[in-house]
Amino acid sequence: MTAKKPRLLTGDTPTGRLHLGHWVGSIENRIALQDQYECFFIIANMHAFTTRMEKPDEIRQSVLDIATDYLAAGIDPKRSTMFVQSDIPAIPELTFFFSMLIPYPRLMRNPTIKDEIRDKGLGDNYPFGFLLYPVGQVADVLAFRPEIVPVGEDQIPHLEMTREVARRFNQLYCNVDSHTEDKDYLKKGGLFPIVDVKLGRARRLVGITGPDAHGNLLKMSKSLNNAIFLSDDPDTIAKKVRAMYTDPKRLKATDPGTVENNPLWIFHEMFNPDEKWVAESEERYRNGAIGDVEAKKKLIDVLVALIEPIRQRRLVFEKEPEEVLKILREGAEKANAIANETLHLAKKYMKQNF
């Protein structure tokens, strides 16, 4: 018999299609870890309702899009389990109990929540449920009691909350001593592991548009109209790269340019396998010896080489939405077996197993 593999959980909100930020932030890691871990990938459709509750059709389409992107990117349903959040009733049940373990001011200090309210222009008019989503995410993770969670940098505050809830639950309901080291909670009789975060090669890939009013480059995001998608065709990639924000002070190819904080070079560093060319060209850019046009042309080639095989595989899956739905349903069955077991145990520890 082979030893039981450790478990991994991560996922995406269906608010659009997968983009290059997902690729370097999380998907690359998922594909690399498929054999070492028992992998669960959640499509968090309930969380999509927090910002677009009036668009159920779009959310439905996006669930299918993300599942299709997973398959095209190389997530193998024979080895990994992909499923839709709302098919797992144990998650909202756990969310309710977990929400008691998070002080309200603690939630409001979560920097990712603050950033999202600002960057998505939510003002003070977001629904109550928006604040519930990080708690829901704690339940998404803990329902599977995974060892690691591969995510981008913006998820660190949510994962920190997950770790806090797990410690608190274990202390309150499983009588684990509060001085226990994170790695020892399970050994000491706790139900929930204190999960590890695994960050991708890019912790936070920037988008292709210019900085916000505060001079910061925004992260590439499905919702911000600044993404290159894993499903973009070569023409679309070329158009996006040609329009990409670079050094605004540089008016012609012979002007010295700035490499730092310049998406053109951030993307080359991240995706161009020819490191020598990148290093030399950055030097030429600084000295006004290479134009944006030439550097962008090269970047288009690099991105098309990465994305086109994914897009080609996607075209095959796109023709079989029924097959994709079947994979999601089978995934939900496997996911429910584990999440229900977690809920059952959690209720037992909370003395609510009647």
- SS3 per-residue string spanning 230-295: CCCCHHHHHHHHHCCCCCCCCCCCCCCCCCCCCHHHHHHHHHCCCHHHHHHHHHHHHCCCCCHHHH
Output the smallest distance, CB 260 to ligand ATP, in A: 18
Minimum separation from the CB atom of position 354 to ligand ATP (A): 37
Closest chain position to ligand ATP (CB): 25
Q: What is the smallest separation between the CB atom of 151 and ligand ATP, expressed in angstroms?
A: 3
For the residues of 189-243, what is the DSSP string, one character each? Answer: T-SS--PEEEE-SSSS-B-SS---TTSPPPBP-GGGT---BTT--HHHHHHHHHT
- Which is closer to ligand ATP, CB of 85 or CB of 221? 221
Angle at the Cα of 99 (from 96 to 103), degrees rounded to 5? Answer: 160
Looking at the Cβ atoms of 230 and 339, the one nearer to ligand ATP is: 230
Nearer to ligand ATP, 70 or 173 (CB): 70
Q: How many CB atoms lie within 10 A of CB 243?
A: 10
Phi, then psi, of 199 in degrees rounded to 5: -85, 150
Closest separation between CB of residue 119 and ligand ATP, Å?
8
The identity of residue 2, as a single letter, is: T
27 vs 290 by CB, closer to ligand ATP: 27
Kindly tell me which of 21 and 193 has the beta carbon lying closer to ligand ATP: 21
**Residues lying near ligand ATP in the complex (CB under 6 A):** 12-13, 15, 21-22, 25-26, 151-152, 154-155, 202, 204-205, 219-223
Q: Which is nearer to ligand ATP, 17 or 290 (CB)?
A: 17
| CB of 199 vs ligand ATP, minimal distance in Å | 9
In three-state secondary structure terms, 101 is: coil
Count of CB atoms situated within 10 Å of the CB of 275: 10
**Nearest distance from residue 219's CB to ligand ATP, in Å?**
4
